[in-house]
Amino acid sequence: MKIGLFGGTFNPIHHGHLIIAESARSYFRLDQVFFVPSGKPPHKPGIPIASKEHRLRMVKMAIKDNPYFSASDYELKKTGMTYTFDTIQHFKNTKPGDELYFIMGLELLLEINSWKKGDNILDECKFLVGLKPNFSTSHIPDKIKNKVKFFHIPFIDVSSTLLRGYLSRNVSLRYLTPENVRKYISKNRLYRE
């Protein structure tokens, strides 16, 4: 099987996440995409993060109507920092014989050298990188560009940071995240400061 791994804090999950995952699944004919919420991400110091339980529930709510999507709590069960390299190794060990693909946006690819084992992580599985319209790959070094596959995604200017900012100012999240996730955030008063 062709298995996609889509990691992220998902703090909270939004339509941009769902679009990139579905675009990758469709372009590369993936059999399954695992959303892997990060436990304690090393690149997010000082950012208010909802509990592991809340983030996992929101992911499951957001993906429940897509039969190709599943949620993995692998990183959430770990103690200490969580790293993509270790997650890839976990899935290689638990799904031997399957082809693994790691899904990400271009902005993460540009930071890959700061990741654990970033100098050789691109050799661990196939990396699929979503490009928004009019984004160029010309500034990416060839040694990185030659190890990834690019695909196009529609431009949607939404981020978890934007959603948290809206919530802190009591601005509506309607249409920015799945409705069941929006209601869950409201009911549990998440991201209210």
pLDDT at position 44 is 60
pTM: 0.92
Residue 25 lies in a domain: yes
At 101 the pLDDT is 98
User: What integer pLDDT is reported at residue 92 of this predicted model?
Assistant: 96
* 3 state SS for 63-130: HCCCCCEEECCHHHHCCCCCCHHHHHHHHHHHCCCCEEEEEEEHHHHCCHHHCCCCCCHHHCCEEEEE
C-alpha span between 21 and 40 (Å, rounded): 22
Domain of 99? 2-187
Has residue 192 been placed in a domain? Answer: no
pLDDT at residue 109 in the model: 87
Give me the CATH number covering residue 118.
3.40.50.620
Q: 167 near 191, Cβ under 8 Å?
A: yes
State the pLDDT at residue 107: 84
Q: Please give the Cα distance from 110 to 91 (Å, whole number).
A: 24
Q: Quickly count: other Cβ atoms within 10 Å of residue 64's Cβ.
A: 12
Question: Does 169 map to a domain?
Answer: yes
What is the Cα–Cα distance from 31 to 69, expressed in whole angstroms?
9
Residues of the chain with pLDDT under 70: 41-46, 193
In a domain, 55, yes or no: yes
If one counts the domains in the chain, the total is: 1
CA distance 123 to 115: 14
Residue 193 lies in a domain: no
What pLDDT sits at residue 46?
67
| Residue at 127 is within a domain | yes
Q: Does residue 165 lie within any of the structural domains?
A: yes
Domain assignment of residue 71, yes or no: yes
